[in-house]
Amino acid sequence: MKVELKNKKVLVVGFGKSGQAAARYCIAKGARLAVTDLREKKVFSYQLSAFSGHPIDWYLGSHKLEVFLAADLIVVSPGVPWNLEPLKEARKKGIPIVGEMELAIADSRLETRDSRPKIIAVTGTNGKTTTVSLIHHLLQTAGKKSLLAGNVGTPLLDCLDQIAETEFLVLEVSSYQLETTPSLKPDVAVWLNVTEDHLDWHEDFFTYVAAKTKLIRQASPNGLVIYNAEDSMVTQSVEQIPATRFSFSSKRQLKLGGWVEEGALLLKIKPTSEPQRFDLSEIVLKGIHNWENMLAALLAISGDVPLQGNVPLLQKALETFVPLPHRMQEVRQVSGVTYINDSKATNVGAAVKALASLKAPIFWIAGGRDKGGSYEPLKELVKKKSKKLTFLEKPNKKWPLCSKNVEIL
């Protein structure tokens, strides 16, 4: 998608990291810029100082419909609801709406396929950040020049000056970003899983799945798709994609792909080759969900760092990977009790994986914002594993009565 910015009236919606990156880029390209955010001006005192001297129209504290309808192009930040009323009206008027990542993908430094780095893009309800960080670590350990960006916390627009020296661009891509990045055509597309989440943003579960499906539908025809063989919704969607595919499973052996077997990860990507084995005993990442993340990461780089002959190198990379904070992070042990910080489990699917990977009895402290999904998948697991369940606030009415030992702080 060709994006012309010079002298165009561009409205940036949302002034977080990606919104600020978009604003910097649009200014550099000569756009006539306006910025809107529901948060008040006082929230952005530090950020606004960085943009002083630039001719920007600020609309902070509210969204004005007339500002949306006056724009030639709207750049929307990932957290801004797609069904926001001014955005709906702008779409009716035919005003193009893109995300920060789309501006980056359309930039000449990434647009030319022959000269740009190989793009590995990862999506999924859970495990995205761990998987992209692991892919990045594996590539760097193998001596490859890799750049990590996207939903992981670094806007892609802020990385464009480094593209010329990069061999691999590893992107974490959320469902929000997939809705607004139609030009993304990854060479390797990884879809980890899909469970109910962000239903406060998407209309329903099926539109959420449709957004995730965009990643594999937009994958390069000569590219590679990696997917979870145990996720029926993912598998059903991937079956329609003509690209080369490898799947992974934490439950069974596969003809081709990756699986878990007797304390090891096994990968086989050629019918005539023997499976390559990676021992799990010295790897810090624990739990079924992390086995899946590791399998996906190894498959994603297998075309560029061949498994044959590189097992010792990749084994060492898996063992030296430092788990990210707030994800099944062991904080300490006191009087025989292990305290685990899993605060990044912000949806039911993530909580299910975490609880399933632990031995009973568990004292579980739960809380957070309801995202519209069902809590039913937790019912039997909490009954079986939790000795006590504590809510930091009154739970949503949809929460099943799955434990007698429940208290609300």
User: Phi/psi class of residue 7: alpha, beta or left (left: φ > 0; alpha: ψ in -120 to 50)?
Assistant: left
Contacts of 52 (CB under 8 A, 6+ apart): none
329-408 is classed in which CATH architecture? Answer: Alpha-Beta Complex (3.90)
Nearest residue to 79 via CA among 14, 126, 156, 24: 14
112 falls in which pLDDT band (50, 70, 90)? low
Which helix (H) or strand (E) segment holds residue 154: the answer is none
* Intrachain domains 107-320 and 329-408 with the same fold: no
**Secondary structure letter of residue 230 according to DSSP:** T
pLDDT of residue 379: 75
How confident is the model over 82-109, as pLDDT tens digits?
889 999 999 999 999 999 999 999 998 8
Return the domain boundaries, the chain. 9-102, 107-320, 329-408
Quick check: 235 and 228 in contact, CB under 8 A? yes
How confident is the model over 167-184, as pLDDT tens digits?
999 999 998 899 899 999
Residue 218 has φ and ψ, to the nearest 5°, of -90, 0
Residue 199 has pLDDT above 70, yes or no: no
What SS3 class is residue 232? Answer: helix
Quick check: 314 and 307 in contact, CB under 8 A? yes
Task: Give CATH superfamily name and number for 9-102.
Answer: NAD(P)-binding Rossmann-like Domain (3.40.50.720)
396 falls in which pLDDT band (50, 70, 90)? low
Task: Tell me how far CA of residue 219 lies from CA of 121, 203, 329, 351, 389, in angstroms.
Answer: 9, 25, 33, 30, 43
pTM for the complete prediction? 0.82
Whole-number percent of the chain with pLDDT over 90: 57
Distance CA 226, CA 218 (A): 14
155 bridge partner residues: none
How confident is the model over 35-47, as pLDDT tens digits?
999 999 998 988 8
**Secondary structure letter of residue 100 according to DSSP:** H
Q: What CATH class has 107-320?
A: alpha beta
